[in-house]
Amino acid sequence: MTEFDGVIVGGGHNGLTCAAYLAKAGLSVAVVERNDEAGGGCTTQELTLPGFRHNTHSSYHFLEEGPVPGDLELQRYGLQYVYPETQHATIFRDGRAITVYTDPKRTAESLARFSKADADRWLELYERYAEAARGLMNGFLYSRPLPPPVLAEQIKGDLGRDLMSYMPLSLYEAVDRNFESEQVRVLFKSFLHAISIENVPGTGGFFPRLLSRITRLGVPVGGAGNVASALRAVIEEHGGTVVTGAHVERILVDDGRATGVSLATGEVLSARRFVASSVDAPQTVRLAGPENFGAEITNKIENYKWAGHSLVTLHLALQEPPRYTAAEFEPDVDRAFLVVLGADDSEQLGRTFDQIHEGRLPDRLAGNGACPSLFDPSYAPDGKHVAFWWPWAPYDLDGDAANWDRRSEEVGERLLAEWTEYAPNLGGGAVLGKRVFSPLDIERHCVNMVRGSHHVGAYEPSQLGGNRPVPEMGQYRTPIDGLYLCGASSHPGGSVSAAPGYNGANAIAEDLELDTWWTPVPAPRWSE
């Protein structure tokens, strides 16, 4: 038996973040990861051909908007980002496109080609949420979640009233109340869907959050795997241990307290002070034993909801980058980082998700993609490129997830054919190699992404804020003394923000009465 102050289950970027903060605070920490490589959703692999590096999950990062990279000095450990000037392009079948830039005025010029009123509204919203309330948005993500009545008390004035007014709305209602052009509406709705949000009441609050981040997408230099590499280096430099290729079979509980973990090999890692789980809450309950949580919490956890849609990705190794016909309308389309294809209006977008909820691959595929090698040549051999498109898709394809394996070649051909409608050069000699990465593959690689739920659970009111994963465990603590949550099934959820790992570390530090070396982000507060 090996002893540590704390053991963290799961070596995704949230588990690694939690461990890095606590290791730097002087605790002896071990992270246990079932895969041969730590990283989880931050993983880069040669999926197509040798030398062509593909991000298997996350590719668009907001990480540097929060405190983690600065606190942990991740640049010192090799983590770097590039921020493309042309952040997004939403392309329509009629050959037109909208482009979003790091410069909000240039974005307004693009929007004005579709609606002058929408361009003016964009500038108002950007000033409010991306500039004036930027710190407030960080407070929402990087502090413990507060109940809506408490938030309403702490966020005063016109901004507070405006912000709280979005909370009961659906995704589409939040967008439609601000913009009149169907193309502009599709731009924002598609981006919100891309971060796993469904069009249900109570998700409208994600719209202001999106506005605070929409022009700040970063390309991780060398691949998303470098996030995990940098975090691991921090842990190891401060005496921590990252164990890979090791499956946690049980979280050990003795007299109501978490005392360590047992591995499938029979080895035991003892935890003197805490155990933290960055895997999903349902899996955590199973590992620690449902009997230790009580019938009410166990029943709620058994009814935890996974996302109603997933992603199917086509990864390409390319001789040249995609060349879009919409570049005739807007040349910057070919210089955009995130590119959205497939939906021309809200009705069509809604129909896409209706078909997905029926377990069908939509009649017209829609979703976003990128060509990271345009901004970081290290993703591919000299002069070559990598690109991907990940349309939204069901997990149970025509009633059975195994159909993804049976029909992989067919699905890949269809993905390429529809992508080629927008980028004709992909139908010529540009494609050197391709690989389909299905919702089933997502689940296989990241076992916490159940049913291909790439943000580790649905976003709906019953699973937002302090309700995530359930109210009784919504503050990163569990009914078991010394057992904590620090993964994406806790607030604020998925994406590469490291916020659940950071917030979990804060909860542990508070309970252990540690002298924290970092300054916690203040809870959201606003007055006018």
**What pLDDT is recorded for position 161?**
85
**What's the CA gap between 371 and 73, in Å, rounded?**
28
**What's the CA gap between 392 and 375, in Å, rounded?**
25
Q: Nearest CA to 43 among 57, 53, 32, 33?
A: 57
- Count how many residues are written for the chain: 528
pLDDT in 10s for each residue of the chain, 528 residues: 699 999 999 999 999 999 999 999 999 999 999 999 999 999 999 999 999 999 999 999 989 989 999 999 999 999 999 999 999 999 999 999 999 999 999 999 999 999 999 999 999 999 999 888 888 888 989 999 988 778 778 888 888 888 889 989 999 999 999 999 999 999 999 988 888 888 999 999 899 988 888 899 999 999 999 999 999 999 999 999 999 999 999 999 999 999 999 999 999 999 999 999 999 999 999 999 999 999 999 999 999 999 999 999 999 999 999 999 999 999 999 999 999 999 999 999 999 999 999 999 999 999 999 999 999 999 999 999 999 999 999 999 999 999 999 999 999 999 999 999 999 999 988 999 999 999 999 999 999 999 999 999 999 899 999 999 999 999 999 999 999 999 999 999 999 999 999 999 999 999 999 999 999 998 887 766
Can you read off the two tokens belonging to residue 278?
Answer: 């960055």
SS3 content of the chain, % helix, strand, coil (to 5): 40, 20, 40
Q: What is the pTM (predicted TM-score) of this model? A: 0.95
CB atoms inside a 10 Å sphere around CB 34: 19
**What's the CA gap between 298 and 477, in Å, rounded?**
15
Residue 356: alpha-carbon gap to chain centroid: 20
149-151-157 Cα angle (round to 5): 105
Going 518 to 521 to 523 to 525, the CA torsion angle's sign is positive
Around 83, how many Cα atoms within 13 Å sit in the side-chain half-sphere? 13
Q: Which H or E run contains 255?
A: none
**What's the CA gap between 337 and 366, in Å, rounded?**
17
Q: What are phi and psi of 507, to 5 degrees?
A: -65, -45
Q: Nearest CA to 451 among 460, 459, 442, 462?
A: 442
CB atoms inside a 10 Å sphere around CB 378: 12
Q: Show Cβ contacts of residue 224 under 8 Å, excluding neighbours closer than 6 positions.
A: 39, 41, 42, 43, 44, 55, 57, 58, 59, 61, 496
